[in-house]
């Protein structure tokens, strides 16, 4: 099967399929300093499977609210070695704290959306009185507006 003699080299199009990103996005991330793929003698980029894990990790950080600029900073510090670990922790901690707040707000909005849908459905199928408006409904559920 030849699975482990040498890492398979993915060209950008195939690697895009692996990561779920587009080729232009991979080039864009490279230009922004997030990734640095290998090159063949003729200048074509190539990526290995391990690289996909790294990119997925970056995308997770991105999802939690890190900007490209912050990711770049993180990647730079990482390349500088262990002396920057405290900086990296501080950066991730900041992202963590911001996300925690937003996440709480998001959960509240999620509750409101669900309550509103339930309220509409209750009105349509007659389980909720016509006279009970959404504010009253929330109050009855003991949910905040």
Partner DNA sequence: CTTTGTACTAAAGTTGGCTTTAAGTTTAAC
Partner DNA sequence: GTTAAACTTAAAGCCAACTTTAGTACAAAG
- Residue closer to DNA (CB basis): 67 or 107: 67
* Interaction residues for a copy of itself, span 51-110 (CB under 8 A): 53, 56-57, 59-61, 63-64, 85-86, 88-89, 92-93, 95-96, 99, 103, 105-106, 108-110
67, 98, 107, 114: residue in contact with DNA (rule CB under 7 A): 67
> Please, which residues bridge with residue 10 across strands?
47
Cα 52 from chain centroid (whole Å)? 15
Nearest distance from C-beta of residue 10 to DNA, angstroms: 8
Report CA-CA distances (Å) from 33 to 77, 80, 93, 109: 12, 14, 22, 35
The four Cα atoms 127, 128, 131, 135 give a dihedral, to 10 degrees, of 180
Does residue number 69 form part of the binding site for DNA (CB under 7 A)?
yes
Q: How many residues bind a copy of itself (CB under 8 A)?
A: 35
């Amino acid at each position: 099967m030849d699975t482990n003699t040498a890492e398979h080299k993915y060209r950008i199009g195939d690697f895009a399929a692996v990561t779920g990103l587009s080729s232009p996005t991979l080039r864009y991330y490279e230009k922004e300093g997030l990734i640095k793929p290998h090159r063949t003698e003729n200048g074509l980029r190539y990526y290995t499977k391990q690289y996909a894990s790294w990119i997925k990790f970056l995308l997770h950080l991105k999802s939690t609210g890190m900007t490209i600029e912050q990711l770049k900073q993180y990647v730079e510090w990482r390349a500088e070695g262990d002396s920057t670990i405290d900086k990296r922790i501080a950066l991730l901690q900041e992202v963590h704290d911001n996300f925690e707040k937003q996440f709480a707000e998001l959960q509240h909005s999620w509750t409101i959306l669900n309550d509103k849908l339930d309220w509409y459905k209750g009105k349509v199928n007659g389980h909720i009185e016509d006279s009970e408006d959404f504010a009253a409904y929330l109050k009855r559920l003991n949910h905040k507006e």
